[in-house]
Amino acid sequence: MMTPVHPRILMITLSNIGDAILTTPVMEALHARMPEARIDLVSDVRSSALFTSCPYIDRIFVRDKRSGWAGYMQLIRLLRKTRYDILVDLRTDFLPYLLRAKQVFKKHSNASTMHLHSAEKHLAAVQALVGNLQPPATLWASAQDHALVADLFPLLGHGRWLAIGPGANFAGKVWPVERYAAVANALAAEISGVVLLGSQAETALAQRFSALAQLPVLVACGRLTLPQSFALLQKCDGYLGNDSGLGHMAAAAGLATLTLFGPGSPVRYLPWSQRAHFIQDAQQDILGIDVETVIARLRGLLAEIAVNAQVEPDHQSLSLKVAQRS
C-alpha cells in the first residue's frame, strides 16, 4: 500500500502583530479546504509566538531582520530544501521566485483592492484554492498558557471584566490614559474591574491608570507572552483600546471590541470580527474622541453582552481589593 502524499504548503505572513493576526483567516481557510496538508510558516521574531500553539502548523521559519542579508540568504537556503506544492506569499514581491514551489499565490495591491479589508485582500490571494470562505481571525494558546493565566489572575471568571489596551506603536494612535480611566470609572457599576494589557513599554500608562481608577485593576502589561495574553483575553468580557495588535487579539478571542482610531482606516484595519466596533473623529485625530461618546458606545456593548450571556454582573466583586493593581 502506498503512503498517502500530503500537500506541502508554505505561507509567508506579516511582521506586525495585528497584521499577522489578519493573515490567520487564510491559514484557517487553507486548513479547512486541505485538512491533510502540512503547512509551514515564515514569520518575524515577535509575531512567530502567535503561531506556536497552532495545531496544524508543521514548521515555523523565523526571519530575523537583525541578521541582515546574510541571515536572509541563510533562510532562503533553508526554505529551498523543500519543494512546496503551494506557496502563499502575503508579504513580499520577489521571494517566491527564489524558492521551489509548484503553485504561487500572492496578494495584489492595486486600485481594485484598496477598498477591501486587509483580511479580505489576503483571502482574495487564495480564492482559487479556498473559494469564498471567510473564516474569522483565530489564535491559539496552550494548556500551560491557560494554567499560568488562571494562577496569576484568579479573580477572572468572577463577574464581568473589561480588557483595555492603553498603548499603541506611535503617539498619534494613543488615546490619553486619563480618558480611559474616566470611562472605566463611569462604568464601575456595570463591570467588576479592568484588565490592562500591553508590552513592558505600557507599564507607565498602567501605573497612571491604576492611580486614577476607582475600581479593581489587574495589570498584565509586560508580564505575559503573546499566547498568554490571548489566553487572558479569553477570560474577559469585552475590549476597549487603541488601534493596535491587542484589538485583533481580543477579536480572535471572541470578545466584542471597541477600537478608538486616530489616523488609519477602519475599513481596512478594523479587527476581523462580526463583533468589532470603532469610533473615529472626523479629522482622524485621536484627541477628538471625547469620553462621553466612548462611555455611551461601551455601555451599549456591555448591555448587549449581558443579554447574550444571560447573566448579571457580579456586583460583590466591586469591593474586592486587588493585589495585582500595581
pLDDT, tens digit, for every residue of 7-64? 999 999 998 999 999 999 999 999 999 999 999 999 999 899 999 999 999 999 998 8
Q: Quickly count: other Cβ atoms within 10 Å of residue 40's Cβ.
A: 18
Query: Coil, strand, or helix at residue 198?
Result: coil
**What span, in angstroms and rounded, lies between the C-alpha atoms of 250 and 241?**
10
**What span, in angstroms and rounded, lies between the C-alpha atoms of 187 and 302?**
10
Q: Helix 226-233 to helix 245-252 angle, to the nearest 10 degrees?
A: 50
How many residues are present in the chain?
A: 326
Task: Return the bridge partners of 8, or none.
Answer: 38
DSSP one-letter code for 61:
E
Give alpha helix (H) positions in the chain.
17-21, 24-33, 68-79, 118-125, 127-130, 143-152, 177-186, 203-212, 226-233, 245-252, 266-269, 291-309
One-letter amino acid at 87 equals L
Q: Are 169 and 246 in contact (CB under 8 A)?
A: no
- The arithmetic mean of pLDDT across residues 67-83, rounded, is 91
147-194 pLDDT, tens digit each: 999 999 999 988 999 999 999 988 899 999 999 999 999 999 999 999
Query: Coil, strand, or helix at residue 181?
Result: helix
At 312 the pLDDT is 42
At 324 the pLDDT is 33
Closest CA to 139 of 12, 9, 269, 251: 251
Task: Return the bridge partners of 60, or none.
Answer: 41
pTM: 0.89
Query: Coil, strand, or helix at residue 231?
Result: helix
Question: What's the CA angle centered on 187, arms 186 and 189, to 5 degrees?
Answer: 110
One-letter amino acid at 167 equals G
**What span, in angstroms and rounded, lies between the C-alpha atoms of 302 and 326?**
26
Cell numbers standing for residue 277? 466596533
Q: Helix 177-186 to helix 291-309 angle, to the nearest 10 degrees?
A: 50
* pLDDT(129) > 70: yes
270-286 pLDDT, tens digit each: 999 999 999 999 999 99
Q: Are 256 and 275 in contact (CB under 8 A)?
A: yes
